[in-house]
């Protein structure tokens, strides 16, 4: 979802830095239910945006997100 904002804005020719800030803000807002760890999503969001802008590939970001969520679910089930 967040990278979709960056892709659409990039395609529309909008300046990248405000789009980056908005997309990172959306990521943090979507994870506010985590509490303080949601702040860590700022780093993850910035890394995702940087990786997309550098390599122009979405599939690796999708798989990393899938792996992250899978590990979180398994870790939560074991605790």
- Tell me the average pLDDT across 54-58: 86
Q: E strands within the chain? A: none
pLDDT on residue 56: 84
Percent of the chain with pLDDT over 70: 96
Distance CA 69, CA 72 (A): 5
Overall average pLDDT of the 26-39 stretch: 84
Contact 48, 68 (CB under 8 A): no
Please count the helices (runs of H) and the strands (runs of E) in the chain.
Answer: 4, 0
pTM of the full structure: 0.68
Q: Provide the token pair at 1.
A: 């979802």
Please check the confidence at residue 75 and state whether its pLDDT lies above 80: yes
Q: What share of the chain is helix, strand, coil (3-state, %, to 5)?
A: 85, 0, 15
pLDDT of residue 2: 67
Locate 35 and state its tokens.
């509490």
């Amino acid at each position: 979802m967040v990278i979709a904002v960056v892709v659409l804005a990039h395609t529309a020719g909008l300046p990248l830095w405000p789009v980056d800030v908005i997309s990172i803000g959306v990521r943090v807002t979507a994870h506010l239910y985590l509490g303080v760890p949601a702040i860590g999503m700022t780093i993850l969001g910035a890394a995702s945006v940087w990786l997309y802008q550098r390599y122009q590939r979405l599939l690796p970001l999708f798989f990393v997100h899938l792996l992250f969520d899978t590990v979180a679910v398994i870790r939560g089930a074991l605790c």
